[in-house]
Amino acid sequence: MAKRVQLVLNQDVSKLGKTGDLVEVAPGYARNYLLPQKIGVLATAGILKQVERRKEQERQRLIEIKQQAQARKTALETIGRFTIRKQVGEKDAIFGTVTAQEVADVIQESTSQEVDRRGITLPEISQLGFYKAEIKLHPEVAAEVEIHVAPL
């Protein structure tokens, strides 16, 4: 059986690896496809150092993004309560419902922080009152704020 060849991938290859991964492949696959298409390069000491440096930079970038999300969480939870005004019918029932887009707009107005509406989890809101909303700012960071639904 032939010896395997180590390559560092320049782009994602399904069922093989992602960009920057060190993979072992058959010599024919490397020689006939991966190297001519510039999908991978032979693994040398210099290339491996470059890969490690890139991975460290990516790790630092991800840590920085998480810290920014933590800071946004602190800012949102410091404010704590946002008021949404809705038209009211009988028995404090509101017309329609409070949507995630409305919550995102209120947060944008009061804090000038842009929040993705898809990351907002709301309970079913059909009456006036106070409700808790969860805002996902990062895969590991979520803020909880109070929504006050008040009459117009």
pTM of the model: 0.66
Could you tell me which of 120, 113, 107 has the C-alpha nearest to residue 68? 113
Tell me, what's the pLDDT at 1?
A: 59
* CATH class (in words) of the domain with range 68-151: alpha beta
Q: Which stretches in the chain have pLDDT values below 50? A: none
Domain boundaries, the chain: 5-63, 68-151
- Superfamily of domain 5-63, CATH level 4: Ribosomal protein L9, N-terminal domain (3.40.5.10)
For the record, the structure tokens of 19 come out as 């960009």
Dihedral sign (CA 109, 113, 117, 119) = negative
